[in-house]
A and B are shown apart, each in its own frame.
Chain A
């Protein structure tokens, strides 16, 4: 019924290569020192790109036709042309379909223009005539599909309809692709991206956009590709804590959520900014970005945003949900996202409700660690929502088949009560800097009527205080977690994303609270702010706090930072007596990223440096304002 559209190959590549040593993956954590010399930074960036390409090229096996990644690495390195051509012909004998298949084949064609034999080029060209390509049904599918269609139609201009699987001429394909891509960029820069801050799917945007910015013949489209990369990576820089992207995330999975570093976003942080180490196999799809990465210069303003964590800052962004076909009075309701970043930790959230039907992570507090590999450095709670209605809201499917299919389609935890990924229509969240309040009002009869709080194996000094607060320390961060209803502890059993069927005990616990009207308060602080852990606990216990759960959950409190909050489920929060007005939320608002809603104009800034992306022109303008 529902076609499966999941990046199987990301996982298979990562799994296949993870057993072999990779220099940076196995190496030490990079120095956190900021590199002021642009030439040194550029040289290091190119070295990292070369590491990826050479590592993949070295996977070639004598006497065996090269696989896709080896073909591409060797094309990028301009190696073994004869064998690469023979391997392309072999590879094209058994084609796949869909956006994940399309963009690497486009890269072969473009990298191989002056390297492949005529027969290999013809094999590539013939595939676009003979093999139907499915477009997919998500924002990332369409980015991959239409950038691929755009570039390949540009590469073979003036060819008739019968030479394309679409039954349309090169010009028709090009026009359709261009129109969609501009429409999509328009949406992203006026009301926000749908698949915002994805931990895995960032590659599905970054890779094709890098191809567009490298190989588009139309200068305006090439520039647009570059600008979207700037936007994507600026958001990554702003939202990453020492190279780890944290929540919220429109789409993610269990592995990425509990071990925040272990996501392909860390590959991009490593490659672009050098501030962490890459995950195994360079995240799988990471190698596809390396193919054209040398054509992307990391702007200094972006580098500085990524590596400077000496300054505390709040960022507020506007995003949108995935497209809702039905069971909703809006097609793409807005997402109001809040992020608070400090040197020792970060807190992030959106206001709750469904963003994506399966893979959303709504909020967390994540702490910094010297080496994040294997560390579960995060805390959050959620309602483990599972519903046919949710599937039908976002997919053109009948109600029942999708959930059973998810178990074999890369989302095995979706219909489990102890999952740690997913948004719920019965969760409302408010965040003020490092205070997060999540309220739950779950209707009777809802599947999995419970709240799951994630307590990492890496927390220390876990203390259940008689006041009702649970105190703990992660890294240099003190954490206070207040469940608003009774709870029990169970072991956290990890079910990784992808096709993992088994549950693994990696340590850690779940706080499970089986009350329909419920809530969680988390307050974080740096250990440097207090004389001792006991002093932090005393400070939390002295905070004015009232709450009730009937008829709807309400929390009235003063935060550690002195903000007076009244948060009632289903109502906009009162902050220091004033009602929070989400309608005033800007597209971006922070010390680093700023844009008005509907403006198509994003300003990226750091100190004196400023880079303005104006999609209405399109143009990139760099300037440096005078030092105050």
Chain B
């Protein structure tokens, strides 16, 4: 069964927003670039408890030329996110339970970059205009490095003392030092490399994901635990709610389709996969073919093919070549995918 959620007539403001979102691309479409690298962070947690033998391979995986996933680096169930230095893709950062790890050699060797006072990294981002600058989302705020994660400092001026649990952090690829952080109490924006933050969207519970559109860097979208899904067309300064996206339960992540600017998908434990193909004007449940209950931890879109991926919790990775209309059981049986990461290839 699929279900289409049409927005109500009263949400005219949302409609105008969505119309704007559907404008022709103002930025470089990803498909116009050379093939991108596509990664995921997977936890294969089959009966592992701390101290027991390791029987599975978890952590960072890269999609190879055949579409298979190749493991990179160390075996870690807890990798929540990864980021790459745009100057050198062999420089990798992971946000993980121990904090933030860094490799300078494509994953052969790693260094835990933080001390005891940083833990449970939730997300990590590199500023493409200033790639020595790395931003780390933490359960107790935000840390910033100006030296490729050799050292960290807390940069939380403007974040509340409580309510700064930070689940997601994204750097605006159009402006150096412009960063959006998804926190317990809302979305916060800095325009000076985290020297100061201001709240641009208050929320009642944690903001789970923020994404920047591939075709237009002014367009952003976010999902939350209790406030539904949101869109911005002015670089994250103002936000409007996506009508038609339910808000009774948590939304875990959101992804733009790099190959089709009108398509977005949302993952949710409760709702499974929700998609839109009209820039958010209408949303459809796309769970037919996914196992029941369709507990979806994460969705991602292959930047080269538009293939939609859905991680069904502790079941498998599923793929769809028709944006969720049909699904096929794929790789990484028993996994939970914590993140998909697209690294654009060089411009053609």
The answer to whether A and B belong to the same complex is yes
Known interface pairs A136-B50, A167-B111; A142-B116 also in contact (CB < 8 Å):
yes
Closest A residue to B337 using CB positions? A1
Q: In the complex, what residues of B have CB within 8 A of residue A98's CB?
A: 50-51
Q: Which residues of A contact B162 (CB under 8 A)?
A: 326, 328-331
B45 on the A face (CB < 8 A): yes
In angstroms, Cα B101 to Cα A400, docked, is 27
- Contact among A7, A96, A180, A398 for B53, CB-based, below 8 A: A96
Q: Given the complex of chains A and B, what is the CA–CA distance between A3 and B338 in angstroms?
A: 12
One of A7, A142, A165, A398 near B269 (C-beta < 8 A): A398
Per the 8 Å Cβ criterion, residues 311-335 of B in contact with A are 313
> Closest residue to A1 on the B side, CB-wise?
B336
Partner of A180 from the list B54, B116, B338 (CB cut-off 8 Å) is B116
B119 within 8 A of A: yes
Whether A1 lies near B120 (C-beta < 8 A) is no
- Contact between A94 and B53, CB atoms less than 8 A apart: yes
Contacts of B313 in A (CB 8 A): 1, 401
Q: Is A609 an interface residue (CB 8 A)?
A: no
Which residue, A134, A136, A331, A392, has most C-beta atoms of chain B within 10 A? A134
Query: Which of A1, A94, A142, A326 is the one whose CB lies under 8 Å from B206?
Result: A326
Residue of A4, A6, A9 contacting most chain B CB atoms (<10 Å): A4
Interface presence of A161 (CB below 8 A): yes
Q: Which of A161, A180, A330, A396 contacts B120 (CB 8 A)?
A: A396
A4 CA to B270 CA in the complex, in Å? 22
Neighbour of A400 across the interface among B43, B51, B206, B250, CB < 8 A: B250
Q: Is the CB of B116 within 8 A of A5?
A: no
Tell me if B305 is interfacial: C-beta within 8 Å of chain A. no
When the two chains form their complex, are residues A3 and B109 in contact, meaning their CB atoms are under 8 A apart?
A: no
Interfacial chain B residues near A136, Cβ < 8 Å: 50, 97
Q: Are B51 and A9 in contact (CB under 8 A)?
A: yes
The answer to whether residues A167 and B116 also contact, given A398-B252, A399-B250 and a CB cut-off of 8 A, is no
The chain A residue sitting closest to B116, CB to CB, is A180
Partner of A3, one of B77, B139, B225: B77
B78 lies within 8 A of A3 (CB): yes
B206 touches A132 (CB 8 A): no
Closest to A5 in B: B50
B295 contact set on A, CB distance < 8 A = 400-401
- Taken residue by residue from 99 to 114, chain A's Cβ proximity to chain B (1 for < 8 Å, 0 otherwise) reads as 1110000000000000
A1-B297, A162-B109 given; A8·B49 CB < 8 A: yes
The majority secondary structure among interface residues of chain A is loop
> Do B43 and A3 touch across chains, with their CB atoms under 8 A apart?
yes
Fill in one digit per residue for B160-171: 1 if any A CB lies within 8 Å of its CB, else 0: 001101010000
Q: Which residues A138-164 have CB closer than 8 A to chain B? A: 141-142, 146, 161-162
> Which size class do A's interface residues fall under?
35 or more
Chain B residues within 8 Å of A489, by CB: none
Contacts of B346 in A (CB 8 A): none
Bound-state Cα–Cα, A162 to B108, Å: 11
Q: Which of B112, B115, B167 contacts A167 (CB 8 A)?
A: B112
Q: In the complex, A9→B51 CA distance in Å?
A: 7
> How many angstroms between the C-alpha atoms of A179 and B115 in the bound complex?
9
Q: Is the CB of A8 within 8 A of B97?
A: no
Residues of A within 8 Å of B116, CB to CB, are 142, 146, 176-177, 179-180, 183
Q: Are A400 and B269 in contact (CB under 8 A)?
A: yes
Residues of A near B336 (CB, < 8 A) are: 1, 401
Beta-carbon contacts under 8 Å, B29-68 to A? 43, 45, 48-54
Distance to closest chain A CB from B112 (angstroms):
5
Is residue B98 contacting chain A, with contact meaning CB distance below 8 A?
yes
Chain B residue nearest in CB terms to A146: B116
Say whether B184 faces chain A, with CB atoms less than 8 Å apart.
Answer: yes
Whole-angstrom CA separation of A409 from B250 in the bound complex: 23
A167: B residues at CB distance < 8 A: 101-102, 109-112
Bound form: Cα–Cα A180–B165 in Å: 22
CB nearest neighbor in A for B269: A400
Shortest C-beta distance, A101 to chain B (Å), equals 4
B139 near A132: Cβ-Cβ < 8 Å:
no
The answer to whether residues A97 and B50 also contact, given A132-B75, A400-B295 and a CB cut-off of 8 A, is yes
Q: Say yes or no for A222: interface residue by CB 8 A criterion.
A: no
Bound-state Cα–Cα, A290 to B269, Å: 46
The verdict on A398 contacting B77 (CB below 8 Å), with A7-B51, A136-B97 known, is no
Given A137-B97, A167-B111, check contact A96 B52 (CB 8 Å): yes
User: A97 contacts which chain B residues (CB < 8 A)?
Assistant: 50-51, 54, 75
Instruction: Indicate if the CB atoms of B225 and A399 lie closer than 8 Å.
Output: yes
Q: Do the beta carbons of B115 and A5 come within 8 Å of each other?
A: no
- Pick from A6, A132, A327: contact of B74, CB under 8 Å: A132
Q: Is the CB of B49 within 8 A of A409?
A: yes
Bound Cα distance from A395 to B56, whole angstroms: 23
Measured CB to CB, the closest approach of chain A to B113, in angstroms, equals: 8
Q: How long is the Cα–Cα vector from A3 to B120 in the complex, in angstroms?
A: 11
Compute how far the CA of A1 lies from the CA of B45 in the bound complex, rounded to whole angstroms: 9
Asked if A166 lies at the interface with its beta carbon under 8 angstroms from chain B, I say yes
Give 1 or 0 for each of A1-31: 1 = CB within 8 Å of chain B CB.
Answer: 1011111110000000000000000000000
Q: From residue A89, how far is it (CB to closest CB) to chain B in Å?
A: 16
Q: Known contacts being A400-B269, A400-B270, A401-B269, is A135 close to B97, with CB within 8 Å?
A: yes
B45 pairs with A166, CB closer than 8 A: no
Beta-carbon contact of A134 and B163 below 8 Å: no
- Chain A residues contacting B97 (CB-CB under 8 Å) are 3, 134-137
Complex-state Cα separation, A22 to B225, whole angstroms: 52
Are A168 and B112 closer than 8 Å at their CB atoms?
Answer: yes
Closest to A177 in B: B116
- Ranked 6 nearest A-B pairs via Cβ: A100-B51, A167-B111, A98-B50, A180-B116, A8-B49, A326-B165
Instruction: Please name 18 pairs of A and B residues whose Cβ atoms are closer than 8 Å in the assembled complex, sorted by A.
Output: A3-B48, A5-B49, A9-B52, A100-B50, A101-B50, A132-B75, A134-B76, A134-B77, A134-B78, A137-B97, A141-B50, A167-B111, A167-B112, A326-B206, A398-B250, A399-B250, A400-B270, A409-B49
- Tell me the A residues contacting B by CB distance below 8 Å: 1, 3-9, 94-101, 132, 134-137, 141-142, 146, 161-162, 165-168, 176-177, 179-180, 183, 325-331, 392, 396, 398-401, 409-410
Q: Which residues of B are at the interface with A, using a C-beta cutoff of 8 A?
A: 43, 45, 48-54, 74-78, 97-98, 101-102, 109-112, 115-116, 119-120, 122, 139-140, 162-163, 165, 167, 184, 206, 208, 225, 249-250, 252, 269-270, 295, 297, 313, 336, 338
Contacts A94-B53, A132-B74, A180-B115 aside, 19 further interface pairs with beta carbons under 8 A come to: A3-B78, A4-B49, A5-B49, A9-B51, A100-B50, A136-B50, A165-B74, A167-B110, A176-B115, A176-B116, A177-B116, A325-B165, A326-B139, A326-B163, A331-B162, A396-B122, A398-B269, A399-B250, A401-B313
